[in-house]
Structure 1
Amino acid sequence: MKTNPIVGQGTSLQQWQSSQHLADMESINILSLVPPGARAVIVAPHPDDEVLGCGGLLQVLAAAGRSLQLISVTDGSASHPGSTRWPVERLTVIRPQESAEALRRLGLPMHRLKWLRGGFSDTQVAARESELSGFIERHLHPTDVLFTTWSEDGHRDHEAVGRASAEAARRVGATCHELPVWTWHWATPEDALVPWQRARKILLSPAQIARKRHAVHAFASQLEGDPEAGLAPVLAPYVLDRLLQPFEVVFL
């Protein structure tokens, strides 16, 4: 992946809405990817990636009664470097709380959701990628279907988590699918670097989009920057616009 592709405001929503690749992309029923009796395992690099990447997917699976396991690899405490408003100590506590509230807003059965926190250091996942792969592997079954961030997503943690998840799934014999998150920022609508041939759309209803939007707004820390530290919000309005389209994309 190119060096630090997550800069500026990125590709606009209007550009994506004119994409021929998106227009031609085949849609898929998520329940066909996670058949009855299988468990969906969501491996998220940071608290919020599970909602941003697959908040609609999670709603569909939960409504169908599929078993769910969420693995939060880091606590996301490095999202505001140098900030006194959002110091590491505060973020370590608040970000998992935000994630729990977001999952509740999605309508997930919190009493049945299995949720593991990996405790890996935010922004430093690649340094412990082999250890992470082993951690994920210990919590997998051969019939599991993993959903994780794309291994070329443009964020170091996202890419390391994608690689580690794929390797863990391979060793166990489970299935692994990838989700673009920051790809929507740096890629262009017809970008040859994106594996369009593997991409499928999961269509979302207006109600599912609204619930996903409500869930995203539980991440108060990510919706606020720190002007004194020169930090803009991580989830600026133009970022959310790209992530709250009437579909989600999965790479099979």
Structure 2
Amino acid sequence: MKSIPVIENRWPNQIWNGTRQLVDVPPIHLASLVPAGARAVVVAPHPGDEVIASGGLLQVLAHHGHPLQLISVTDGSASHPGSELWSERRLSVFRPQESAEALRRLGLPLHSLKWIRGGFTDNALAAREHQLSQFISRYLRHDDVVFSTWCEDGPPDHEAVGRATAKAAAQVGARHFELPVGVWHRALRDEYQIPWPRARKLRLDTWTVARKRHAAHAYASQLQGDPKIGLAPALSAVLLERLRQPYEIILM
């Protein structure tokens, strides 16, 4: 399937739309990632990360009948620090509703989906990495295939979740793969930081990509910043544009 064209001069030059390395990433079939009948577990630092990182993968897994478990480490209520418009109290109610709507838009089987909420504090996961690893391990089985954000992704919470999940998976004997998220929006000069030999490309069809982007738009709070305090939206236009790419990148 051909890539959806991007207007080159509209977006800042970043790894996702500038590097030629992406073209050469070899494809991988779902069966090579998750054996038939195996459960897939996705560990997300914040609500919405499961869609941005793996919204296409989740759809493919559900389509092939794999049991799914999501672990949302934080509730995302500290996404707008200092904002009166999006206070932590408001977000603590709003963001779970956004997540439920996003998963519905992905077409996931909500009646059978196991969804764990960790309740850890945003922007403080590195300090509680040991506890986080213990928490995650309680919900893993030895025959699970576990996906998390990459341990060198950039945002500290993403990296802490990647490290903690790797430790938890190793402890129970589960397979663990990583999903780059924040790194794609670094300057093109940083492309060497990605371990390209580990990268594999899970291709997505047009409708899967469309549902992923539709699900991302369920996070209304993240599509808005707070101009009053100069806070930009977490889900920027350039990030949403990246979601048009017809594949997920997985680090083996």
Give the TM-score band, short-chain normalised: over 0.9
Q: When the two structures are superposed, what TM-score results if normalisation uses the length of structure 2?
A: 0.93
The residue that corresponds to 1:3 in the other structure is none
TM-superposed CA distance for 1:36, in Å, is: 1.3
The residue that corresponds to 2:28 in the other structure is 28
Which structure 1 segments of 5+ residues have no match?
1-8
TM-superposed CA distance for 1:245, in Å, is: 1.2
The residue that corresponds to 1:73 in the other structure is 73
**Cα pair distance change 1:87/1:65, threshold 3 Å:** same
TM-superposed CA distance for 1:16, in Å, is: 3.4
Matches of 2:25 and 2:238, distance apart in 1: 23
Q: Say whether residues 1:150 and 2:167 are aligned partners.
A: no
CA distances 1:4-53 after superposition (whole Å, capped 9, x unpaired): xxxxx99536x634422111110111232111121100000000000000
The residue that corresponds to 1:182 in the other structure is 182
The residue that corresponds to 1:207 in the other structure is 207
Amino acid at match of 2:56: G
The residue that corresponds to 1:5 in the other structure is none
The residue that corresponds to 2:16 in the other structure is 16
Matches of 1:189 and 1:60, distance apart in 2: 33
* SS state at 1:201 partner: strand
Maintained 8 Å contact 1:76/1:91? yes
Matches of 1:146 and 1:215, distance apart in 2: 22
Matches of 2:205 and 2:151, distance apart in 1: 28
Q: When the two structures are superposed, what TM-score results if normalisation uses the length of structure 1?
A: 0.93
Amino acid at match of 1:207: W
Query: In the comparison of the two structures, how many residue pairs are matched?
Result: 243
**Cα pair distance change 1:16/1:185, threshold 3 Å:** closer
Counting aligned pairs with the same residue, the percent is 60
CA distances 1:96-137 after superposition (whole Å, capped 9, x unpaired): 110111001000000000000001001011111100100111
Matches of 1:190 and 1:158, distance apart in 2: 18
The residue that corresponds to 2:4 in the other structure is none
The residue that corresponds to 2:98 in the other structure is 98
Amino acid at match of 1:107: G
* SS state at 1:177 partner: strand
The residue that corresponds to 1:197 in the other structure is 197
Amino acid at match of 2:103: L
Amino acid at match of 1:12: N
The residue that corresponds to 2:6 in the other structure is none
**Cα pair distance change 1:10/1:117, threshold 3 Å:** farther
**Cα pair distance change 1:98/1:160, threshold 3 Å:** same
Matches of 1:97 and 1:32, distance apart in 2: 34
- Measured on the aligned residues, the alpha-carbon RMSD in Å equals 1.6
Which structure 2 segments of 5+ residues have no match?
1-9
Matches of 2:214 and 2:120, distance apart in 1: 28
- Counterparts of 1:1-252 in structure 2 under 5 Å? 12=13, 16-188=16-188, 191-252=191-252
Matches of 2:204 and 2:250, distance apart in 1: 13
